[in-house]
Chain A
Amino acid sequence: MIEYCVLALLRDGERYGFDLVRTLSEVPGMVTSEGTLYPLLSRLRRAGVVETSWRESPSGPPRRYYRLTSSGRAVLEAFVGEWESFRDTVDHFLKLEKNA
């Protein structure tokens, strides 16, 4: 699941690795160890759904930025469709239970 959250965070533009990891870890219950997110980012890069580039930083060494590739965008869109229909189905049954 976290893979798709990463892709969703990159939908509106590229992000710095540290910023991406902090954003994910600040949501309670989502991430137990910030460090294991970096291998996950590396896997996404090797799968071709994100790509990275180096940018100069105002302070300190250059930073590695992550952004969606066109294939990553397609994977995200396919997931959003599946997720919404899955969620609606589950909601439908949960509401039935409540009303019964």
Chain B
Amino acid sequence: MNTADLHPLAADYMKRLKKAARHLPRSRRDELLGEIETHLRESLPPDAPEAEARKAIGRLGEPEQIAAEAASPAEVRVGTNEWLAVVLLAFGGALMPPVGLAIGLCLLWKSNAWTVREKVIGTVVIPIGETLAMVVLFLGPLTMHLLSKHEAVALAILVGYVLLPLVIVVYLMKRARGRQTPGDRDSLPSSQAANHLELGKAS
């Protein structure tokens, strides 16, 4: 984008907007910057007097406010990172401790596909299950007379290290996919589009 032929105040404004919009997804940021720059070109000749320039920029509003408006509602994508997060959370601890689990946790907390509550569940449930499985491994055979030692070990491993992690994978992926933003090019049936409008921030 070439801002050399803009009014100096408009060029300053674009600089502030670029900074405020740096966290937006790329396509959304480019669209916003392009539209605002066009608006400035249309409403403000490069040699306009300062008072007129201030008025035009005042009508446009604060760059930070515009960028915040463009950031909502946040786009949720369920991609490789989300899949990797849940797989590593579920099995990373067993397959390559402690690195696998640590990477899984980082990806989980970094993603915007889950609420804090879901992230807490994803963080604590598996270690608790594994700890319980360990307790059963050591104490189980002493207290449970119904199962042989081998059966107790197999059951503890199955539940703590396989079934429970699988339940968590399914739970987290279901939640994330339910929250996923429909793609840019998908056209919605009108009833769904109407819901979409109502859900979007009304002003």
Contacts and interface: CB of A to CB of B under 8 A. Distances in A.
Interface residues of A, number: 36
B190 A38 contact: no
Given A47-B193, A49-B197, A71-B193, A36 B66 contact: yes
A75 B61 contact: no
A39 B66 contact: yes
Contacts of B61: 32-36
Nearest to A25: B59
Contacts of A39: 32, 66, 69-70
Interface residues on B, range: 35 or more
Interface in A29-49: 32-36, 38-44, 46-49
B181 to A, nearest CB: 8
A61 B193 CA distance: 32
Interface of A: 1-3, 17-18, 21-22, 25, 32-36, 38-44, 46-49, 60-61, 63-64, 69-72, 74-75, 78-79
10 contacts: A3-B200, A17-B39, A18-B39, A32-B61, A36-B61, A36-B203, A38-B39, A39-B69, A39-B70, A71-B189
